[in-house]
Amino acid sequence: MSEIERVPTGIKGFDDLVGGGFPRGSIILVAGVAGAGKSIFGMQYLYYGAEFCGEPGILIVVEESAQSHRETARLLGMNFSRLEEEGKVVILDIGAIRKKIGMEESTIPGLWDIAEIVEKLTKKLSAKRLVIDSLTALTFKYESLAKMRIDMFRLFSKLKALGLTSLVLTELEEGKPSISRYGMEDFLVDGIVILGRERVGSHYRRWIAVPKMRHTKHSLELVLMDITDEGIVVYKEAPMV
pLDDT per position as a tens digit, 138-191: 888 788 989 999 999 999 999 999 999 999 999 987 766 667 777 788 899 999
pLDDT at position 104 over 60: no
**3-state DSSP assignment of residue 113:** helix
Q: How, if at all, do strands 203-213 and 223-228 pair?
A: antiparallel
Higher pLDDT: 178 or 52? It is 52
Q: Where are the alpha helices (DSSP H) in 90-208?
A: 94-100, 111-125, 135-138, 145-162, 185-188
Give the phi and the psi of residue 200 in degrees, each rounded to 5. Answer: -125, 105
pLDDT at position 75 over 50: yes
pLDDT at position 241 over 70: no
- How wide is the angle at C-alpha 213 spanned by C-alphas 212 and 219, nearest 5°? 75
Q: Whole-number mean pLDDT of the chain?
A: 90
Indicate the DSSP class of residue 136: H
Quick one: 201 exposed, middle or buried, by C-beta within 10 A (0-12, 13-18, 19+)?
exposed
CATH number of the domain at 6-239, please? 3.40.50.300
- Predicted local confidence at residue 102, as pLDDT: 52
Distances in Å between the alpha carbon of 13 and those of 6, 16, 34, 36, 222?
15, 6, 23, 17, 13
Indicate the DSSP class of residue 201: T
How many contiguous H segments (helices) and E segments (strands) does the chain have? Answer: 8, 11
Hey, which residues does 166 pair with through a beta bridge? 27, 130
Average of pLDDT values for 23-33?
Answer: 96
Of 122, 191, 194, give the one whose Cα is nearest residue 159: 122
pLDDT tens track for 183-205:
788 899 999 999 998 888 888 89
| Domain range summary for the chain, segments of one domain joined by + | 6-239
Whether the link from the prior residue into 180 is cis, omega within 30° of 0, is no
- What percent of the chain stands above pLDDT 70? 91
Q: What H or E segment, with its residue span, contains residue 33? A: none
Can you give the pTM of this predicted structure? Answer: 0.93
pLDDT confidence bin for 1, thresholds 50/70/90: very low
Q: How, if at all, do strands 6-7 and 191-200 pair?
A: unpaired
